A and B are shown apart, each in its own frame.
Chain A
Amino acid sequence: MSTATDTVNTNPDSHGHDSHDDHHHHIPKGLMRWVLTTNHKDIGTLYLWFAFIMFLVGGAMAMVIRAELFQPGLQIVEPNFFNQMTTVHGLIMVFGAVMPAFTGLANWLIPMMIGAPDMALPRMNNWSFWILPFAFLILLSSLFVEGGGPAFGWTFYAPLSTTYSGDSTALFVFSVHIMGISSIMGAINVIVTIFNMRAPGMTYMKMPLFVWTWLITAFLLIAVMPVLAGVVTMVLTDKYFGTSFFDAAGGGDPVLFQHIFWFFGHPEVYIMILPAFGIISQIVPTFSRKKLFGYASMVYATASIALLSFIVWAHHMFTTGMPVFAEMFFMIATMIIAVPTGVKVFNWVATMWRGSISFEIPMLFAIAFIILFTIGGLSGLMLAITPVDFQYHDTYFVVAHFHYVLVTGAVFSIMAAVYYWLPKWTGRMFDITLAKWHFWCSLISVNVLFFPMHFVGLAGMPRRIPDYALQFADFNKWISVGGFAFGLSQLIFLALVIKACRKKGEKVSSQVWEGAEGLEWEIPSPAPYHTFDTPPTVK
């Protein structure tokens, strides 16, 4: 029988690698460790740091937006620059912060949760990651192109992105292309890992929900990122090669752009929330000291949300003048999604019901998630009502909706995940006092920031405009104050994470949290560089 060490000795010393005496627990050093790595934990760390840096960069842009909107009138920046800020803020947060953060978590956790030695395709894994810094270098440097960076909104509607866009559009298109390549490869890796690398006995219905939700997310990614690639390609050819996909004079239609974009875009928002559902489903049982309520229904709910997400895209297009039948269809289909989503919220609450709950930091974020995400879901339901959306569309109400689901939803879940698994990664408990400050400052400021947006939105304040009518002044002042406070609160988080990485704090046990269950809590903390070379047997 070959042992774990044998496996390692088969590594290709003889194949012209720059190999030395690699043996099993030898960890490469220096910068090149990170550049050349094939280790899922290294790559996970890279993704997470990258996402955090992008979160701060995108956050800085949000600060510019809120500074300009602090008072009515044009104050600080040029309108065109304001548009670039809203555009690039959105692109960075979606593609540079939330998605890579989830991919980083997937890299760290999925192999440990299913008892695999690594991701299925480790070299491709490295490639997926290293594309990203380059893609965002291109996107960010396009801000300095003559005529300015992309200013057409993260949704780059034609003809704003075709007829009326600047020279940076080509760079934008190609950077989106390579981001897409990165996401698709990352998703393929996740799917193959889950299908093919589970330890003996780890049947599908025993997989932790984080693994399940990521499996379904990866499927969505592979299905829709190529569609995004297709639509940016059409924008490129319309702008530079004289095609008329989105130009009525040639028989095309700008609304066609919106159909293709949102066919990608709506599944995309679920790509950003399904892994969050998975995280919450890991954390809530731990701190309630109970099994997750309704495991199977969680799996089925996730799958039905994913499938339904393909037939609701035009709820973003109610005001484009679609035929009434289409408006009705998309309204009803959208509302149906609320059912499986409701199942999930119900299950989390039922898991807590009569549990012995303790309120550690990850649990605080998880509970905040459940409440605030639900608010976002409910405003989504309001928007899904076609006649109502005629009034709300393109107002701050929509901005409030998607920030509740994305910031207090996706981003809070990522923070919850970091707090939950950070001790496993570093082997030390993080600074709990700082974490409490981070939580409470974030929680309060995020609501000061986003809640009033509902009111100004209902009253008619349009989104993506650097100026507004005087009656919105008071609310906007508070929104900006909340914004700055939320931005500053994240610096606490930065300090905390840096401190944790420098191995300050008390050593933790392998289980870390009393009540935590799963394979990742059975290996030592910090998790060794290589885990599960010999797969565990799951009973």
Chain B
Amino acid sequence: MAQDAPQQYEKYYVPEQSVWPIVGAIALFLIAVGAGNYVVEVSKDKSGYGAYVLIAGLITLLVMVVGWFKNQIDESMSGLYSAQLGRSYRQGMAWFIFSEVMFFAAFFGALFYARVIAVPWLGGASNNAMTNEVLWPGFEAMWPLVSTPGGTETQAMGWLGLPLYNTIILLVSSVTLHYAHVGLEENKRKQLTWMLGLTILLGCIFLGLQGYEYVHAYRDLGLTLQSGIYGNTFFLLTGFHGLHVTLGTVILIVLFFRVLKGHFTPKEHFAFQAGAWYWHFVDVVWVMLFFFVYIL
């Protein structure tokens, strides 16, 4: 069917009108307005409607995602798609992941700058002896920055123990997901189901342990979001990573139910592939994190 090129082009599926994009735009609008107000209300300790708008926006977004995806799944199950459309989706997903890489790059950049430039300069390195002498007398550059120029004290998070276990867990989860994919491609549905289920389980364990680590940081180490650039980069990098793992896990759970319903064929499984790519990407980010945030 889709073998010879001209036909393949003719089959490109251009969807008719759809309500979901505008629902999505309204959702983002509500989220932005809600979050923009809520943040201010919390910081000023006053009451307001921000939180409600934010929640309304999140619910709208959820409705949009469910509706849009249901639409897509129906279309794909009724064979409207072509190989070319599949390529569009795959490429779209790949570029989306690239944009995510650049988002993390901004925070890694901040981490490197702080470590290699900002903190040493505050300590008098390069030609900044007077900065140190006059503005921050007595401050000594170090990393992790457990004692800030402003005088906040904290403790560093080690890499042995929890973070190491978490690294192993995530790495294993990438392997199990790979075998789930292999199972799908070789039409071994049982392997697919089990391996996918195992991956989800590992993802949940990771998130649980990460939550525990945050409690440990706040309660035992005094390492908080407010404790200077070390805590800032630590929490924002691991926090955004955690959000991505959460999202990835949700995606995998959705895929799991679709697998149970018998969706996906050895040849056509864009959604599965996209979810898998996303998961591997999140995994790679973690390896970078583990290396640069925890070990070094």
Binding site for B on A (CB under 8 A): 1-4, 6-7, 10-12, 14-19, 22, 28, 32-33, 35-38, 116-118, 120-124, 126-127, 130-131, 134-135, 137-138, 142, 167, 170-171, 173-175, 177-178, 181, 184, 187-189, 191-192, 195-197, 199-200, 222-227, 229-231, 233-234, 236-237, 240-245, 248-253, 255-256, 259-260, 263, 323, 530, 533-535
Contacts and interface: CB of A to CB of B under 8 A. Distances in A.
A222 B15 contact: no
19 contacts: A3-B10, A6-B10, A7-B13, A10-B13, A12-B75, A15-B71, A16-B74, A126-B22, A131-B29, A134-B25, A134-B29, A167-B44, A174-B36, A188-B96, A189-B92, A240-B43, A245-B110, A252-B228, A323-B126
B213 interface: no
Given A245-B110, A253-B113, 17 more contacts: A4-B10, A12-B78, A12-B80, A120-B91, A123-B68, A170-B36, A170-B37, A171-B33, A173-B36, A178-B29, A184-B99, A196-B87, A222-B95, A223-B99, A234-B236, A249-B150, A260-B106
Interface stretch (B115-123, B183-191, B194-202, B255-263): B115-123
Nearest to B34: A174
Contacts of B136: 248
Contact of B21 (A116, A130, A260): A130
Contact of B36 (A138, A195, A263): A138
Contacts of B25: 127, 130-131, 134
Contact of B232 (A10, A122, A226, A250): A250
Contact of A7 (B10, B117, B149, B152): B10
B294 interface: no
Given A12-B80, A121-B92, A174-B35, A251 B145 contact: yes
Interface in B137-186: 145, 148-150, 152
A312 B27 CA distance: 37
A227 B226 CA distance: 23
Contacts, number: 267
B47 interface: no
Interface string B1-26: 00001110111111111111110111
B205 interface: no
Contacts of B105: 226-227, 230
Interface of B: 5-7, 9-22, 24-26, 28-29, 31-33, 35-37, 39-40, 42-44, 68, 71, 74-75, 78, 80, 84, 87-89, 91-92, 95-96, 98-100, 102-103, 105-107, 109-110, 113-114, 117-119, 121-122, 126-127, 135-136, 145, 148-150, 152, 225-232, 236
A117 B5 CA distance: 15
A245 B232 contact: yes
Contacts of A222: 95, 98-99, 102
A38 B18 contact: yes
B14 A38 contact: yes
Given A1-B7, A243-B226, A196 B24 contact: no
Contact of B92 (A138, A167, A188, A533): A188
B149 A251 contact: yes
B132 to A, nearest CB: 11
B102 A535 contact: no
- Which 8 pairs of residues, A with B, have the shortest CB-CB distance? A230-B106, A249-B150, A127-B21, A251-B229, A134-B29, A174-B32, A130-B25, A36-B17
A11 B91 contact: no
Q: Counting chain B CB atoms within 10 Å of each CB, which of A251, A323, A530 scores highest?
A: A251
A173 B148 CA distance: 27
A2 B11 contact: yes
B114 A241 contact: no
B286 to A, nearest CB: 18
Nearest to A189: B92
A85 to B, nearest CB: 21
B9 A534 contact: yes
A160 to B, nearest CB: 18
Contacts of B24: 127, 130-131
A243 B21 contact: no
B88 A251 contact: no
Contacts of A12: 15-16, 74-75, 78, 80
B80 A10 contact: yes
Contacts of B89: 121
B146 to A, nearest CB: 10
Contacts of B127: 323
Contacts of A234: 106, 110, 236
Contact of A38 (B16, B68, B98): B16
A37 B15 CA distance: 9
A171 B37 CA distance: 7
A223 B102 contact: yes
A303 to B, nearest CB: 17
A417 to B, nearest CB: 25
A171 B22 contact: no
A7 B32 contact: no
Contacts of A38: 14-18
A243 B74 contact: no
Nearest to B103: A226
Nearest to B131: A248
B14 A118 contact: yes
A177 B32 contact: yes
A119 B136 CA distance: 56
Given A38-B17, A196-B84, A535-B9, A134 B26 contact: yes
Contacts of B9: 199-200, 534-535
A192 B92 contact: yes
Given A130-B21, A200-B5, A15 B152 contact: no
Nearest to A115: B9
Contacts of B80: 10, 12
Nearest to A183: B99
Contact of A534 (B10, B16, B74): B10
A248 B148 CA distance: 9
Contacts of B227: 250
Contact of A250 (B13, B99, B148): B148
Contacts of A137: 29
A251 B119 contact: yes
A224 B28 contact: no
A137 to B, nearest CB: 7
Contacts of A533: 10
The listed residue with most A CB atoms (<10 A of its CB), out of B17, B31, B42, B228, is B17
A273 to B, nearest CB: 21
A226 to B, nearest CB: 4
B100 to A, nearest CB: 7
B98 A120 contact: no
B6 A123 contact: no
Contact of A188 (B42, B84, B95): B95
B233 to A, nearest CB: 8
B36 A227 contact: no
B14 A117 contact: yes
B83 to A, nearest CB: 10
Nearest to A119: B14
A2 B10 contact: yes
Contacts of B5: 200
